């Protein structure tokens, strides 16, 4: 028998003795309603297309999208975030605000599926339908906005204010199609104010804005490029944030709050937990975090090799995001997590 001090008043291990005790005193809990499932919908597909760098994730067809939304509803997931992939792209992303464009058709289909009365209940009212409000999937150059003509140096740049006009047009058609939340993700200055004014002027007072406030230029977005068939050459460092800067992320969040954002987001989640915690402490609206494609791919790849426990690593990674202050977590594991914690 080991000897112990005669008087040891502090024994935190008492609260870790059993699974029952650990559950009772847990400070942070996950719930399916905290989660948002990103969904990709591609024009012209006859069947879902697997994304090789994101095992288990597919590009959906318009016909398979309702089943994905219903699965989210049955699991009690809080929302779905839709990304559209068109067959035709041009310099201004004209398909982004086309009424018959792939994303706007997907929004209507998803909203109808989410409203299905046979799936809804007081406990599980169905997922909120959210739409990515950005041009990168729709432009032939892959940037998130409209490009300027070449300057004296021969370079083109993303035109902030011209892009805002495209974002407002896109947000209006998304709202008309049935989006409950529009999510400007392009990191253009003034995007929240421009979209809020346009929505209100059109009578869409109840459509919320989830602002990608602190969105960093990140190597962890790599698999997403495959998911949306990105045509980007180069990078987006002139408008997405430098990963070295934390205070700048807080300033961006403050600006979006001042412009009327209903929710603010930090992205990517896993490498920005310090910024997430600081934004959560100062925000008076819900805070979201996006667990991005690279975070997903890393855990899936390591688990496939048997190097880590997949379920344990997934839950720990998402719990860390929640513990840092996220009210809402966008994750490609939303269905798995909902099943595990239910």
Beta strands per DSSP E along 218-339? 263-267, 287-290, 328-330
Q: How far from the centroid of its chain's Cα atoms is residue 166's Cα?
A: 21
Residue 42 bears catalytic tag: no
Q: Which of 273, 236, 276 is nearest to 253 (CA)?
A: 276
CA-to-CA distance for 327 and 30, rounded, in angstroms? Answer: 10
Q: What ranges in 95-190 are assigned the alpha helix state H?
A: 102-114, 160-177
Q: How far from the centroid of its chain's Cα atoms is residue 152's Cα?
A: 37
Set 42, 89, 166, 215: catalytic member? 215
Set 105, 166, 204, 267: catalytic member? 267
User: Helix, strand, or coil here: 273?
Assistant: helix
Query: Is 250:279 a contact under the CB 8 Å cutoff?
Result: yes
Query: Is 270:316 a contact under the CB 8 Å cutoff?
Result: no
Angstrom CA distances, 91 to 103, 146, 227, stand at 18, 7, 20
Q: How far apart are the first and last CA of the chain?
A: 41
In sequence order, the β-bridge partners of residue 182 are 131, 209
Q: Known catalytic residues? A: 215, 267
């Amino acid at each position: 028998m080991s000897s112990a001090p005669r008087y040891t008043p502090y024994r935190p291990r008492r609260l870790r003795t059993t699974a029952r005790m650990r559950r009772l005193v847990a400070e942070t809990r996950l719930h399916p309603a905290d989660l948002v499932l990103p969904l990709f919908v591609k024009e012209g597909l006859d069947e879902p297309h697997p994304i090789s760098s994101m095992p288990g994730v597919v590009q959906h067809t318009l016909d398979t999208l309702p089943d994905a939304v219903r699965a989210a509803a049955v699991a009690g997931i809080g929302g779905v975030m839709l990304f559209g992939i068109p067959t035709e792209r041009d310099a201004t992303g004209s398909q982004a605000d086309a009424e018959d464009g792939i994303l706007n058709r997907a929004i209507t289909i998803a909203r109808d599926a989410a409203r299905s009365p046979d799936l809804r209940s007081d406990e599980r009212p169905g997922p909120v339908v959210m739409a990515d409000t950005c041009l990168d999937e729709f432009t032939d150059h892959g940037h998130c906005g409209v490009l300027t003509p070449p300057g004296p140096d021969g370079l083109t740049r993303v035109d902030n204010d011209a892009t805002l006009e495209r974002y407002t047009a896109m947000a209006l058609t998304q709202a008309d199609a049935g989006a409950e939340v529009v999510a400007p993700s392009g990191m253009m200055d003034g995007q929240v104010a421009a979209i809020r004014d346009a929505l209100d002027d059109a009578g869409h007072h109840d459509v919320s804005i989830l602002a990608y406030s602190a969105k960093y230029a990140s190597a962890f977005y790599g698999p997403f490029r495959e998911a949306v068939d990105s045509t980007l050459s180069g990078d987006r460092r002139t408008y997405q944030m430098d990963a070295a800067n934390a205070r700048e992320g807080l300033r961006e969040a403050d600006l979006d709050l001042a412009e009327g954002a209903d929710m603010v987001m930090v992205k990517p989640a896993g490498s920005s937990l310090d910024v997430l915690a600081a934004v959560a402490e100062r925000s008076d609206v819900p805070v979201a975090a996006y667990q991005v494609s690279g975070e997903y791919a890393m855990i899936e790849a390591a688990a496939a090799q048997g190097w880590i426990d997949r379920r344990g690593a997934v839950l720990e990674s998402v719990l860390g995001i929640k513990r840092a202050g996220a009210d809402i977590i966008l994750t490609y594991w939303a269905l798995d997590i909902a099943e595990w914690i239910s």
